[in-house]
Amino acid sequence: MSPDRFQNLDPAQKVKVLPRHLAGPGPTSPSAAWPFPFDEDWRVYQSEKGTAFTTSPCMRLWSSFTPEPDKSRKGAWTTEANRHGGLPFGHATWQITFDATTPVELLHDVHTELLDLYHEDLHSDRDGLFEDMTAPHEAYASLFASGWRHHVKTDGTQSFLSPDDLAGVVHRYAVTRSHEPAWRVWGGHPSEPQWQARFTTGTPTALVAALTASMISTAPLIRTVNEVPCNTRSHLYLATPTGTPPADRPAAQPPPAAGPGPGTRPSR
């Protein structure tokens, strides 16, 4: 097991970490998770207890955050769509749920793609929010290039596991039970993930692809040391820390560069 690279750092020090799926939730706030244009008739409501809710002008999309600080997953982010609009809290055509422990940057990237689909539908004859135009392989093709392992079962599911065994994607490609998610994505130890995301049948595949692309991105996430989950710290890599650490504590250092693996050509 790799050493804990955080043990000698000040808890308030900011660091840049990878992989993204183990970074911890970060700033759990609607402003960090929602890129929606609230100055363009998107409505947003927030209670004193932290519950937040937003709807698109057409009322076909709505998203909410329900904090549950006393529970292990700390609450949930939920995004739903209704083809006919005007019915928030009614029957959803499709739904996405994220545990509140999900890295907020992953949510932001999914919601950014959702906003792109929304704008494309406004300015064209397509209905990409409800007529999926993205092939399923678009959601996992990039995982192969990043060294993820692939396993297919005879029950109509296929799964993908990250090289560190601490993130996974499960795709139910032969949908036989509508109450089960078509896609489930998680990060952390498989037996007890730090976070999970679920996409019901009918959710645009482009949104799943946005999540997987965000997970494997090599752009590090900024966290304070005390925001990084303790049980997977040994699997994280530190980029250059942000800010200046206290004088009595050393600066975080990135791990030494690994030598080329078997069969790897040195760069020229």
Q: Is the dihedral of CA 82, 84, 87, 91 positive or negative?
A: negative
CA distance 67 to 77: 9
- Pair type for strands 52-55 and 43-46: antiparallel
pLDDT, position 133? 86
Do residues 30 and 47 lie in contact, with contact meaning Cβ atoms separated by under 8 Å? no
pLDDT, position 2? 60
Type of residue found at 1: M
- Pair type for strands 61-67 and 221-224: unpaired
Residue 21 tokens read as 């799926």
Give tens-digit pLDDT for 91-110: 889 999 999 999 999 999 99
CA neighbor of 95 nearest in space, from 154, 179, 161: 179
Do residues 212 and 139 lie in contact, with contact meaning Cβ atoms separated by under 8 Å? yes
Q: What DSSP element (H or E) covers 72?
A: none
pLDDT, position 254? 41
Which stretches of the chain score pLDDT less than 70?
Answer: 1-3, 86-90, 176-178, 240-268
Q: What three-state secondary structure class fits 30?
A: helix
Residue 119 tokens read as 């704008």
Type of residue found at 93: T
CA distance 204 to 50: 28
Give tens-digit pLDDT for 122-132: 888 888 899 88
As a whole number of Å, the end-to-end CA separation of the chain is 32
Please, which residues have CB within 8 angstroms of residue 163's CB and are 6 or more apart in sequence? 146, 147, 148, 149
pTM for the complete prediction? 0.86
